A and B are shown apart, each in its own frame.
Chain A
Amino acid sequence: MSERAQLLLEIADDELILGWRNSEWTGIAPFLEEDVAFSSIAQNEIGHARALYELVARDLGTTADELAFDRRPDEYQSSPFVELRLVPDWARTIARHYLYETADEQRIKALVESDDPEVAGLAAKIDREEAYHRMHAQMWYDRLKDEPRFVEALEELQPLVMERGEHIAEFADLWDEMTMVRRSVVGATW
């Protein structure tokens, strides 16, 4: 796999898995307006994953769906940080959201500067949406920054940011649920 495919796949997997985890709040977020907002952020992340998969899929001669749903669990490059199942803990969810957006900003901004016009173009598009995610994360950070539970969550999660390595045990259940339709109906499309 090319270095470009490897890098994009890592980011795409992070976005897909985080989008999946964030979408677990749909219907049960602290209040209705936040439910809509957080679900929409989750959808955006999955949209970013799709765009990145499409770019990688062309390099690898496959499709975005196959990359997203037809790989074995050990083939996903996602960070254990995004795999953590944090529902129903809102303080830790927002702590991860904030830490992720902060780290993701560096990664995406570096891609915007890339010599590869396809990568730079897509990264610029993604960054324009991420700007709103960062505003959302920041307003929650400002609101919760003196809450002990939130401070604790930040301290707990900070060392895990974008770590790579073994998937956490909970990833198996996520993978199982996420790929269920594709595995039960071969070649299923949406």
Chain B
Amino acid sequence: MGASRGARGSGVIYEVFRLERKGQPFQHAGSIEAPDAVFAEWYAREQYGRRGESVALWVVPREAIAEIDEFVDELERNYHRVDGYPLKEKLKEARERAGTAAAGDR
């Protein structure tokens, strides 16, 4: 859409989430622009539901979503992070110590 995006601008952006199968979490499907909620529902149904790919949709004005995109970590407490513990390496070392390393590990 690129350049034409600015020329439109009269609508509201809605984020659409879809449920593929009951029991699964809703996942972000994409966004649509529509003049109001009635149009948004119709367009969401058309773009994310008409091929049987969803059993339910959430259609939410983007404005209604609280976005958080700052995560302060002044003291570099990286032990809080989930990526602070490279399990694969440690597992390999443990296997070597135990003499049970899998062929692919060497």
Contacts of A135 in B (CB 8 A): 42
Q: Which residues of B (1-35) have their CB < 8 Å from a CB of A?
A: 1, 8, 11, 32-35
Is the C-beta of B50 less than 8 angstroms from some C-beta in chain A?
Answer: yes
Is the C-beta of A190 less than 8 angstroms from some C-beta in chain B?
Answer: no
Is the C-beta of A139 less than 8 angstroms from some C-beta in chain B?
Answer: yes
Contacts of B34 in A (CB 8 A): 33
Is the C-beta of A179 less than 8 angstroms from some C-beta in chain B?
Answer: no
The smallest C-beta distance from A35 to any residue of chain B, in angstroms, reads 10
Count of chain A residues with a beta carbon within 8 Å of a chain B beta carbon: 13
| Residue contact A40 to B46, C-beta cutoff 8 Å | yes
**Alpha-carbon distance between A136 and B35 when the two chains are bound, in angstroms:** 13
Count of chain B residues with a beta carbon within 8 Å of a chain A beta carbon: 16
Residue in contact with B11 in the complex, picked from A31, A36, A40, CB distance below 8 Å: A31
Total residue contacts A-B, CB cutoff 8 A? 32
**Alpha-carbon distance between A136 and B46 when the two chains are bound, in angstroms:** 11
Is the C-beta of A181 less than 8 angstroms from some C-beta in chain B?
Answer: no
Contacts of A33 in B (CB 8 A): 32-34, 39, 43, 46-47
Contacts of B46 in A (CB 8 A): 33, 36-37, 40
Given A37-B46, A40-B46, A40-B50, do A32 and B39 touch, yes or no (CB 8 Å)?
Answer: no
Is the C-beta of A72 less than 8 angstroms from some C-beta in chain B?
Answer: no
**Alpha-carbon distance between A135 and B1 when the two chains are bound, in angstroms:** 27
| A139 closest partner in B (C-beta) | B38
Known: A31-B8, A31-B33, A33-B46. 13 other contacts (CB 8 A): A32-B33, A33-B33, A33-B43, A34-B43, A36-B43, A37-B42, A37-B43, A40-B46, A132-B42, A132-B45, A136-B42, A143-B35, A143-B39
> Can you offer 11 A-B residue contacts whose CB atoms are under 8 A?
A31-B8, A31-B11, A32-B33, A33-B33, A36-B43, A37-B46, A40-B50, A132-B42, A136-B42, A139-B39, A143-B39
Chain A positions near chain B (C-beta within 8 angstroms): 31-34, 36-37, 40, 132, 135-136, 139, 142-143
